[in-house]
Amino acid sequence: MALIQVKVKQVICFKVDLGKGSFYCQIMLKYIILAIGMLSLLMVGCGEEKQEKITITWWHFWTDANIKPVIQGIIKDFEAQNPGITIDLVDLTWADGHDKIAIAFSSGSGPDIVELGSDWVSEFSTTGHLCDITDRVDSIKSRYLMWGPAGWQDKIYAFPWVLGTRVLFTNTDLLTRAGYDADFIPHTWPEFYNACRKMNQIDGSTFGFGSNSAERHRLYKKFLPFLWANRGEILSSDQKSCRLNTPAAHEALEFYLRLCETGLTDTQRRLEDAFLEGRIGFIISGDWLLKRIEREKADINFNTMLIPGPDGPVSSRSFAGGEYLAINNECQHKNEALALIRHISSPSNQLRFCLANRTANPSSKVAAADTNFLSQPHFNTFIRQMQTAQMPPVHPRWVYIEAIIETAIEKALYDAKPIATILDEACREIEEILNE
């Protein structure tokens, strides 16, 4: 501005000096003022343009050729509704996505929005990297499922998007060969165990139950439904003590081991292979197995059902996981980011996503009640199982607790020690972590 004043003064001086030529100089002055005015307008315009254009970066995991176009479509709709906002979609893979997110957050270069696995939210929220959205979601909380893993110490840091649970798959041909009707559904643990035992005795090549072996980060997910169904729990509600050495936990582990004796023990992938080959009667698996059966056109007659509880369907429990959307605490456009999350997880977009993904796991209760899901028997099973599915406790040191639980189950599977001793040891180790 000072420079402009000087120039104007110079022009005025010029006018005075020239005398007769003052008319031209006045024109010149007008042009200069006009030019400055236009330049200022242009600069103001540019400033406004800069403020208007917002880019929000979203890191996600859905790179599947059937799913990504749907996500891109959802984003396009949002951009059309919000002309000043552009979304930069970045693909992650499950192999190293977690590490990339952790490194990005710790180096201060995290994305505006990030998709997180349900057991990662506490890990990132307790270190202050996620934005507290408690007040912003208070009014809509009742419309969505599974807020548990989204929070830590009464605050909410993430939005539940796509959930997932496991149900019981059965080979109906093996059921009939074992003397049951094809539509037989075991409701209680004794019914389930007997069916597994009979299927295991058909001939040397078939198995009753497909149980997971010492497979890290998976094994505990197979045991926890039995623990929860037997009204057991991992931690006390105040998270100050471990409850794995209670009689309920002891019984649950004993029952899991008895089931393992009635079948094949292997990795999840190989168990699913054996199920598709018609060699396993019962297997606990997720919606990915439905997709696999469809994709591979597997020649198998199967049914899906709730995982039996000790005393019937009322005590049926399963393991729930899910994808959560969180905003980086460093994000400059939190309102816009939240608007995008709300758009992605709206009932209609969740329905769009789930139908493309051939799954029935929306977090929106409205979407879950859609006839597309309820009319399809297998999807219906998943929707019903989700009603009683549970997630592990939210704790910043969950990775350590998970490892201890898995080691305990492995020890029991490999007859390393008596169950009571194994569970006592596990409890002691977990309590050391809780008291740190």
Binding positions for another protein, rule: CB under 8 A: 99, 102-103, 105-106, 123-124, 127-129, 213-217, 264-266, 270, 399-400, 407, 410-411, 413-414, 416
311 vs 425, beta carbon nearer another protein: 425
DSSP state, 184? -
Two tokens at 272? 């699913």
Q: Spell out the residues 6+ positions from residue 99 whose beta carbon is closer than 8 angstroms to its own.
A: none
CA distance 249 to 266: 23
Q: How far is the CB of 202 from another protein (least distance, A)?
A: 17
105 vs 189, beta carbon nearer another protein: 105
CB 354 within 8 A of CB 163: no
Q: Is 181 exposed, middle or buried (0-12, 13-18, 19+ CB in 10 A)?
A: exposed
CB 168 within 8 A of CB 309: no
List, as one string, the DSSP characters of 308-344: PBTTSGGG--EEEEEEEEEEBTT-S-HHHHHHHHHHH
CA distance 149 to 398: 12
Q: How far is the CB of 219 from another protein (least distance, A)?
A: 9
Residue-wise over 11-50: b if at least 16 C-beta within 10 A, else e? beeebeeeeeeeeebeeebeeeeeeeeeeeeeeeeeeeee
CA distance 71 to 76: 9
Q: How far is the CB of 156 from another protein (least distance, A)?
A: 19
114 vs 351, beta carbon nearer another protein: 114
102 vs 355, beta carbon nearer another protein: 102
Q: How far is the CB of 400 from another protein (least distance, A)?
A: 6
Q: How far is the CB of 421 from another protein (least distance, A)?
A: 15
319 vs 398, beta carbon nearer another protein: 398
Q: How far is the CB of 225 from another protein (least distance, A)?
A: 21
228 vs 275, beta carbon nearer another protein: 275
Q: How far is the CB of 261 from another protein (least distance, A)?
A: 11
DSSP state, 255? H
121 vs 360, beta carbon nearer another protein: 121
CA distance 58 to 328: 10
299 vs 415, beta carbon nearer another protein: 415
Two tokens at 362? 């929306």
Q: How far is the CB of 265 from another protein (least distance, A)?
A: 5
